[in-house]
Amino acid sequence: MKEQINKMSKILFSASLIGWIIIGVLLFNVVNVDASNSNDANIYKKLKLFSEALFNVRQNYVEELDVDDLIDSAIKGMLDEVDPHTTYFTPDEYDKFSTDTKGEFGGLGISIDKKGEYITVVAPIEGTPAYRLGIMAGDKISKVDGESVVGVSTDESISKMRGKPGTKVMISIIRPGVKEELDFEIVREIIKIHSIPYSFKLDNGIGYMRIRQFNANTTSDMREKLDELEEEGIRGLVIDLRFNPGGLLREAINTVNEFIGKGKLVVFTKGRAPQTNMEYLTRYNRIRDDYPVIVLINGGSASASEIFAGSMQDWDRGLVVGQTSFGKGSVQRLFPLSDGNGIKITTAKYYIKSGRCIHKDLNDKLLKDERVKNGDISKEEIEEMQEEAEEKNHENIYYTNNGREVYGGGGITPDIEIEQSLLTDLGVELRRKNIFFNFSVDYLLDHEDKITLDYNASDKDINNLLKFAKTKEIEFEQAQADSVNEWLQNELTSNIIGRKFGEVERYKIILREDSQLQETLDIFEKYSTLEEMYQYAEEVKLKKEKMQDKE
């Protein structure tokens, strides 16, 4: 017994000695980074204190402990003191994170973000299982296969949701405005991210381009799509960046290049370390015709999509409309650590040409706020905090290349704010239970030969749809259905057309009921140049300010 104790003591002593050697190396590196920093003088003492605590807990705790788990927890606890985007990866997590960046995986088709204790859907990806079943932006994921993911890390939650294509997963969500938890059984598919899923000329002569995210093919895809649209003779272009979570910085810069030419500053980064301070200029002798461009954004537009929208605004090459973007303007760099571990660290922040910082600090504060994590803060309180941040944001005035006023301090504020209409309770239920999709499958079996591109759902079709919905235990009053009759007709039409002619044709029909887009297209009908649109935006802004003064 005595020999075992002595053996254990020797092992612990050896481990401690190795730890001190590592600490010495770390201390040497720290001192050489910035010997003048007074905080560095205390690092040695604190590392010694940590080593002592680890040694005593490991040797004296009542039960045997796993040192790896203790140290992993200590590192994660340390990172709790910084922003939510700085993350430690164990070897398995690091390997999975690296694999996920390849752009293809078996999953559900949702972009997510950690908001408080909940993994929250930022946007469903068009054409994926989650999108078809009606998963919506703002849905909070509470369980995966019956197991709670509240408080679980984003990476761990992702690992639970992803799996082999063809396998099933049950996710439970909490949806704002819906009392009961909603369950969705989803069959995993290979998720291939197409950067520009939709690009076509609308009936009014305006080009429409939806950029889902900025990946390695975005610039080449955009060039090809723009060439096609210009050959068709468009008189203007809408670039839809709603719910675009971002992606590769260089692709955002190169796509802006298409509209402003070579040698123009798009974005620069500023951090504490000198090597993080960089400028990014356009590199190619490419510039498109001077047709008016409107960039459409919302609260789900983040990171690279904000750089694109803000840069088009800064260089006076596009009118930005919609709702203020998310405000993800921090730069993360991935550092490999020993034994296959890794760490993703926020090293700088993004600033666009006008000098505006994209990053919205309130987002980070809310993510770290214990009241949010514990559900001790109301939605109204959060909205009030966001409104105050937006007002403060408007105190920071910057100027575009031609001297127009724009705001800085968090997200991209649109030149013209346009709200999006929301689904009714009946609409939510019909989508959640996949009524349109399931009905259209059966409908097409009996009517496929009669369906042409100009098909429009009849009153009889809508009544049959509602009867089908009732068989799936969806309860509603006829008045509820009557109030959304046009929406029902459009949704059913788009599903049936989509089943026969494909996703693009389905999407074109969906856009008919897209209130944000329709108001955007109205601007093209009233004004033919960007200069006229900017003047209109200024008039809208002044009118809004006068109304606020009266209040």
Rounded Cα–Cα distance for residues 453 and 501 (Å) = 8
DSSP-assigned letters across all residues of 302-329: -THHHHHHHHHHHTTS-EEEES------
- Distance from the Cα of residue 186 to its chain's centroid: 21
Strands of 392-523 (E only): list them.
Answer: 397-399, 405-407, 416-417
Number of Cβ within 10 Å of residue 156's Cβ equals 13
Residues carrying an active site annotation: 303, 314, 328
Beta pairing partners, 239: 209, 295
What one-letter code names the amino acid at 125? I
* 351 closest CA partner among 451, 433, 270: 270
For residue 11, the SS3 value is helix
Left if phi > 0, otherwise alpha if psi is -120 to 50, otherwise beta: which for 437?
alpha
3-state helix, strand, coil in the chain (%, to 5): 50, 20, 35
Max CA pair span of the chain? 91
Q: How many residues are recorded in the chain?
A: 551
What one-letter code names the amino acid at 158? I
Whether 353 and 265 have beta carbons less than 8 Å apart is answered as yes
- How many C-alpha atoms does 99 have within 13 Å on its Cβ side? 12
Whether 206 and 524 have beta carbons less than 8 Å apart is answered as yes
For residue 191, the SS3 value is strand
At 44, phi and psi to the nearest 5?
Answer: -55, -45
- Distance from the Cα of residue 123 to its chain's centroid: 7
Rounded Cα–Cα distance for residues 258 and 147 (Å) = 47
Burial 314-350 (b: 16+ CB within 10 A, else e): bbbbbbbbbbbbbbbbbbeeeeeeeeebbbbbbbbbb
In this structure, what DSSP letter does residue 214 have?
B
